[in-house]
Amino acid sequence: LWETVTGSFASFIHAVQPEHLSEVVLHRSKRMILDSIGVGLVGSTTHVFDIALRYCQLYASNAVSSVYGKKGLKLSPTLAAFVNGVAAHSMDFDDTWHPATHPSGAVLPALLAVAQMLPPSAKPNGLDFLLAFNVGIEVQGRLMHFSTEAHNIPKRFHPPSVVGTLGSAAAVAKLLSLTRTQCANALAITASLAGAPMANAATQAKPLHVGNATRLGFEAALLAAQGMEASPLILDDLPGCSGFSAFYDNYQPKPLPLPANSHQFLLEKQDIAFKRFPAHLGMHWIVDAALSVRNLLINYAGSFSPALIRTILLRIPVSKYINRPFPESEHQARHSFQFNACTALLDGKMGVHSFTDASIHRQELKELLAKVLVEHPEDNIANFDKMYGEIALILENGDVLTGRCDTFYGHWRKPLSRDSLLKKFRSNASHVFPEDKVEAIITIVDNMENLPDSSYLASSL
Amino acid sequence: FPPVTENFAGVIHGLNASHLTDLVIQRSKRMILDTLGVGLLGTSTEVFHKVIQYSKTYSSDASSTVWGHLDFRLPPLYAAFVNGVAVHSMDFDDTWHPATHPSGAVLPALIALSEALTQKQKFSGPDLLLAFNVGIEVQGRLMRFSSEASNIPKRFHPPAIVGTMGSAAAVAKLLALDPFKCKEALAVAASYAGAPMANVATPTKPLHIGNAAKHGLEAACLASLGLQGNKQILDMESGLGAFYTDYAPQVLPTLKSYSWLLDQQDVAIKRFPAHLGTHWVADAASSVRKHLVKGDNSLPINGIEKIVAKVPDVGYMNRPFPNSEHEARHSFQFAVCTALLDGSISVQSFSDQNISRPQLRELLKKTQLEHPPDNKPSFEILYCEVNVTLQDGNVFSERCDTFYGHWRKPLSAEDLKKKFHSNASQVLSAEAAEGIMETVDNLEKVEDCSVLNAFLKGTQSAKVLEKICSF
C-alpha cells in the first residue's frame, strides 16, 4: 500500500499496540521514565523552574495536573507539562540518545498531565502509558534518521525542540486514542510549533526547549482532537515549500513500517545514555578521562597537587557551544569542556553541587582553568557514538600523564547498572521527597505494566 | 560594532512617542483599523471556532476579550492566540515588503495585555501606538537581515519568525521593560519562532499568526519575570540566523532621529480574503472581462477556449483545482476564474458553494499558468497578465502591475473604512463598529486604550460610546 511518509507515521501511531513492545523496550523505557522523573524532581528546585512556574500560575485554571515536587499545586494540563518539561531539562541532567536529542523529557510530562486530565472512566493503565511513551520516543528516533545532519552534535536547531515536539504530539495522540487522520494532523500542526535555535543552549532559556516541546506537542494533539487540520504531507519531501524539512539542510524521509505483527522499536537496537552529573553529555567523556589522569597524578606524586601542572591539554571534538574557557553561569558551566575537566581534576568527582555559584567561582578552579589548552584532533568527531575525551597533564618537570575515555560509564555502550540508576534517582528525588515517597515512586515505575490507573504515577509526584 | 541584539534592546527601550512621525502614525492607524475589522470577520470562521474550543479549557482567571464575543473571556495569552488566529483566518490581513503579515502578530497581544493589566495600570492610545510601531519596526528590520526574505518564502512562514519577535518587542515596550529585559525577551522569543511553509493553505496557517502573538507575549512575560536567553540571539547564525541560509544582521539607526521603516515602506491592504498574489490576478482578470462581457451579461464560458495567467513561479499558489477555502485562497487559477466569472472577488467567493460551482470548474479546466522569467516572486515587482483566447481566435489580454490596495496604490481612507465596516458589522452592532473607527481615528488622544475592548466585545451601550467620545 503506497503511502506518504506522513501517512505511514500516522498509521503507526494509530495502530501500534502494547503487544508490540518487546521486553527490552519495556525495560529500557522504564529506566528512562524513572530517570526522567528523578531529574525533573531535582529540577523543580531550580531558578529557571521557579520563573516558569510563576508565569504559568497566571493562567492556572482547569488545574488538574500535578507539578513535580509541589504537593497540592496543580496547573492546567499543558502548563503542567510545560513546567515539568522545564524541570526535566533545567540542569541538563536528563537522558540523551543517538542520534542526539533528549527524548524522555519531551514526552513524559505531557503523558503524565494527560493521564490526570482524562476522566475516571477513561484512565489509561500502565501498559497504555508505556505504549504511548514508546510511541513518542520511537517517532523522535525515526525523525532523526531523516537527516545525516542529525547524527552529529547540532549546530542550527536544538533537536528536542524539533523532534521532541513531534514526539510529544505522537505520544499524546496515542494516549488519547486519536483516529489515524487526527494523528496525522497532530504531527502536522506540531511542525508549526517546532524549532528553537542552538544559540539558546547554555543559557537559562534552554530548558524551555524541552518544556515547550512537551507542551506544544500536547497542544497540537488537542487541537487535532478538536478537528484542526494541517498539511497531510508535512513529513514528506516537498521541494519549493518546506514541511518538516525546513529544519534540515539535507532531508530524506522514510516511511515507518506498519506494525502488523511485530515492530522493531529503535530503542531495542539503540539504548539511551543516562548522565551521572548534570552537564552536557560531551562533558562525561572528559570527566572520566580527567578522573583517570587524576589518579595517575596521585600515584605519581602522592596527592593531587595543581602546582605540579604546567598545562592541561584537552583533546576534544569541535563544537562551539561546549567550548568555553571561562564560564560565568551554571548554564555555561554545564556546557564547558574546560570547566568539567578542571572540576573533576580538582574534586575527584562531579555532582549537582559542582555547578553552584560558589563552586563555579572558586579561586583554585580559576587557576586550573588558566592552564587549559584545547586541541581538536581530526579523528575526534562531534558525534556521541564516536567521540572520545583525552587529557594530557604536562607537568612542570616535563613529564606527561595522559587519560583517555572512549566510553564513559552511563553511555549506551556501558549502561548504568540498576544500582547506579537507583542511586541517581534517590539522590535526586530526596531533594524534594522523604524516603518513603521516593521508594514508592520506584516501586510504581518498576511495576508500570501492571498499574491499573497511570494517573496514580502523576499524582504521586 | 555593538552587538546587534544589545542594540535592538536599547532601541526598543529608548523609543518614545516623540519619535513617531505623522506619516507613521497615520499608516499604523490604518493598519490597526484594518486588522481589527479582519479579525472580527475572522471570528466567524471554522478555524476560529476550533481554537476557541481549545482555549476555553484554560479559561478561569480570564481577563481579556475575545473579539466579537461577550459570552466569555480568556487569559491574555489565549486571547492573543485566538484573536491572532481570527486576524489571519481568511488571509485578509495586511502584507508588507519584505513579505510578512505584520499587524496580526502584534496587535492582539497588545490589546489582550493592556486589558489584563487594566486594574493595575492604564495604557493610553499613544502607548498602544508606540508599542505597536515598535513591533512592526522590529519585524521589518529583522527581515532585512536576509536577502532570502525579499522574495515570497519557501521554507519558513515569515510571520512565525519575525512576527514572534515583533510581538515580544511590542509587549516589552508596552511593559516598559529595561534594556536588559528587552534583550532577554528577544532571546526567549527566538526559541518559539518558526513554522514551515507546508502548513500554508491549510487551516493551521492562521495559527502561525495566533502563535506569533501568543508566544511573543509569553516570551516578554517570561523575560519580565527574569528569564534569560542568549544575549547575542540576533547576532548569531545559530540564533535567529538558524532560520535563514544567508544572514547578515545590522544595528538599528540611532534614536537621535529615528527613521521608521513604515515611513519609507507602506503595507498593502487586501480587498478580498486571499493571498496577496491573487490581487494582481484579480485586477488583470477583471479588466479582461470587460472586453468579453457587456453590461450585466454573464461570461460566455463556452466561447472561451483557453485562459493563460502569467504569474511568478510560486509553488504553493499553483493549485488548479482547489478543494477547500484555504486552498482556494492560495490559488492563482481560482482567482483568475472567479474574477472572470463574477467581475470581482469577495468574501463570499470562498464559500463551499462558490468553490464547487460547475461554471467555475469549467473555467478552471481551461486555465493554465505561465511563469515568465522576468516575473519575480517578490511583492515589490511581480505582475500578472491574463490572456483569454476565444473559440473564434480572438485574444484579449490585460496586465496588472500594481493592484488597488498595494503600497504603490493605497486604499483611500473611505475604502479602508468601507472594508472595516463590512467586516465588523458581521459580528458587531453599528454603534460598536463606529466606536472602534472613532477610537482608532483619534488614537493619539485616547487616554485609556482598553476602551477598544468594550467595543470589540460587542457591547452596544450608548453610555460607553458617550464616555469614549469625549476626547
Contact predicate B361/B345, CB 8 Å: no
Provide long-range contacts, Cβ within 8 A and 24+ apart, for A146-149: A146/A235, A146/A244, A146/A248, A146/A251, A146/A252, A146/A253, A146/A254, A147/A248, A147/A249, A147/A250, A147/A251, A147/A252, A148/A250, A149/A248, A149/A249, A149/A250
Contacts of A189 in chain B (CB under 8 A): 199, 204, 207
What pLDDT sits at residue B58?
Answer: 64
Q: What span, in angstroms and rounded, lies between the C-alpha atoms of B395 and B388?
A: 6
Q: Phi/psi zone of residue B226: left (φ > 0), alpha (ψ -120 to 50 degrees), beta?
A: left
Contact predicate A442/A460, CB 8 Å: no
A47-56 and B205-224 helices cross at what angle (nearest 10)? Answer: 120
SS3 A74: strand
Q: Which of B152, B157, B107, B100 is nearest to B129 (CA)?
A: B107
φ and ψ of A257, to 5 deg: -70, 145
> Which H or E run contains B401?
none
SS3 A281: helix
Residue A426, burial from CB neighbour count under 10 angstroms (0-12, 13-18, 19+): middle
Nearest CB neighbour to A208, from listed B191, B221, B315 = B191
Amino acid code (one letter) for B215: H
Grid coordinates standing for A68? 513535580
What pLDDT sits at residue B61?
Answer: 62
Q: Which residue has the cell 487586501?
A: B270
Question: In CATH, what number does B4-264 get?
Answer: 1.10.4100.10
Contact predicate A56/A79, CB 8 Å: yes
What pLDDT sits at residue A365?
Answer: 96
Q: What span, in angstroms and rounded, lies between the C-alpha atoms of B77 and B210?
A: 10
What pLDDT sits at residue A389?
Answer: 96
Nearest C-alpha of chain B: how many angstroms from A63?
Answer: 9
B124: how many CB neighbours lie within 10 A of its CB?
18
Please give the residue of chain A at the shortest CA–CA distance from B158: A192
Q: What span, in angstroms and rounded, lies between the C-alpha atoms of A194 and A156?
A: 13
Question: In CATH, what number does B277-400 get?
Answer: 3.30.1330.120
Mean pLDDT, chain A, integer: 90
Q: How large is the C-alpha radius of gyration of chain A?
A: 22
Which positions of chain B have pLDDT values less than 70?
Answer: 1-2, 54, 56-62, 459-471
Interface of B with A in 217-256 (CB under 8 A): 218, 221-222, 225-230, 232-233, 236-243
What pLDDT sits at residue A1?
Answer: 43
> Which H or E run contains A73?
strand A70-75
**What sign does the CA torsion over B74, B75, B81, B83 have?**
positive
What pLDDT sits at residue B457?
Answer: 81
Contacts of B47 in chain A (CB under 8 A): 228
Q: What is the pLDDT of residues A168-195, one digit of tens each?
A: 999 999 999 999 899 999 999 999 999 9
φ and ψ of A400, to 5 deg: -125, 130
Inform me whether the pLDDT recorded for A143 exceeds 80: yes
Q: Which of A120, A196, A219 is nearest to B164 (CA)?
A: A196
Grid coordinates standing for B212? 506569533
Q: What span, in angstroms and rounded, lies between the C-alpha atoms of B368 and B147?
A: 30
Amino acid code (one letter) for B249: P
Interface of A with B in 283-322 (CB under 8 A): 320-321
Lowest mean pLDDT among A67-81, A297-311, B280-294: A67-81
Interface of B with A in 156-195 (CB under 8 A): 156-157, 160, 187-188, 190-195
Q: Measured over all CA atoms, what is the biggest interatomic distance in chain A, rounded to whole angstroms?
A: 74
Grid coordinates standing for B128? 498602544
Contacts of A328 in chain B (CB under 8 A): none
What pLDDT sits at residue A70?
Answer: 84
Question: Rounded mean pLDDT of A275-286?
Answer: 95
- Write the CA distances from B23 to B15, B105, B409, integer angstroms: 17, 21, 16
A303: how many CB neighbours lie within 10 A of its CB?
8
Amino acid code (one letter) for B144: R
**Local structure of residue A46 (DSSP, 8 states):** S
Confidence of residue A31 (pLDDT cuts 50, 70, 90): confident
Interior CA angle at B138 toward B137 and B139, to 5°? 90
What pLDDT sits at residue B462?
Answer: 47
Q: Which residue has the cell 558551566?
A: A333
What pLDDT sits at residue B57?
Answer: 61
Q: What is the pLDDT of residues B225-265, one digit of tens each?
A: 888 999 999 999 999 999 999 999 988 888 878 889 998 99
A187 at the B interface (CB within 8 A)?
A: no
What pLDDT sits at residue B471?
Answer: 40
Nearest CB neighbour to B315, from listed A52, A196, A241 = A241
Cα dihedral B172, B176, B180, B185, rounded to 10, equals -10
Q: Which of B226, B144, B189 is nearest to A200 (CA)?
A: B189
> Which H or E run contains B395?
strand B395-400
For testing the chain B interface, which of A228, A330, A335 should be mutated: the one with the most B CBs within 10 Å? Answer: A228
Please give the residue of chain B at the shortest CA–CA distance from A238: B198
What pLDDT sits at residue A264?
Answer: 82
First to last CA, chain A: 44
Q: Measured over all CA atoms, what is the biggest interatomic distance in chain B, rounded to whole angstroms?
A: 73
Amino acid code (one letter) for A124: P
Contacts of B371 in chain A (CB under 8 A): none
Contact predicate A111/A78, CB 8 Å: no
Q: Do B199 and A55 touch (CB under 8 A)?
A: no
Lowest mean pLDDT among A79-83, A252-256, B413-417: A252-256
β-bridge partners, A169: none
Q: Which of B455, B446, B445 is nearest to B420 (CA)?
A: B455
For strand A389-395 and strand A400-405, is the pairing parallel, antiparallel, or unpaired?
antiparallel
β-bridge partners, A66: A74
Strand residue runs (E) in A230-337: 309-315
Interacting residues of B163 by C-beta distance below 8 A, sequence separation 6+: B100, B101, B102, B104, B105, B106, B139, B208, B209, B212, B213, B216
Q: What span, in angstroms and rounded, lies between the C-alpha atoms of B220 and B233?
A: 15
β-bridge partners, A395: A309
Alpha helices in A307-413 (DSSP H): 330-333, 337-347, 357-360, 363-369
Q: What's this model's pTM, rounded to 2 decimal places?
A: 0.85
SS3 B388: strand
Interior CA angle at A156 toward A155 and A159, to 5°? 90
Contacts of B227 in chain A (CB under 8 A): 48, 51-52, 204-205, 208
What pLDDT sits at residue B60?
Answer: 61
Interacting residues of B383 by C-beta distance below 8 A, sequence separation 6+: B280, B310, B375, B399, B400, B401
What pLDDT sits at residue A228?
Answer: 87
Interacting residues of A324 by C-beta distance below 8 A, sequence separation 6+: A202, A332, A333, A335, A336, A337, A338, A339
Inform me whether the pLDDT recorded for A379 exceeds 60: yes
Q: Do A227 and B50 touch (CB under 8 A)?
A: yes
What pLDDT sits at residue B466?
Answer: 55
**What sign does the CA torsion over B55, B56, B61, B64 have?**
positive
Interface of B with A in 70-89 (CB under 8 A): 75, 77-78
Top-confidence residue, A16 or B343: B343
φ and ψ of B80, to 5 deg: -60, -40
Interacting residues of A431 by C-beta distance below 8 A, sequence separation 6+: A41, A42, A45, A69
Confidence of residue A9 (pLDDT cuts 50, 70, 90): confident
Inform me whether the pLDDT recorded for A334 exceeds 80: yes
Question: Rounded mean pLDDT of A14-26?
Answer: 81
Grid coordinates standing for B355? 468553490
ipTM, two decimals: 0.79
- What percent of chain A clears pLDDT 90, i.e. is strictly above it? 65
The residue extents of the domains of chain B are 4-264, 277-400, 418-469
Q: What span, in angstroms and rounded, lies between the C-alpha atoms of A242 and A248?
A: 10
Contacts of B48 in chain A (CB under 8 A): none
Residue A234, burial from CB neighbour count under 10 angstroms (0-12, 13-18, 19+): buried
Q: What span, in angstroms and rounded, lies between the C-alpha atoms of B172 and B224?
A: 8
Q: What span, in angstroms and rounded, lies between the C-alpha atoms of B167 and B81?
A: 12
Q: What is the pLDDT of residues A425-435, one digit of tens each?
A: 999 888 889 99
SS3 B236: coil
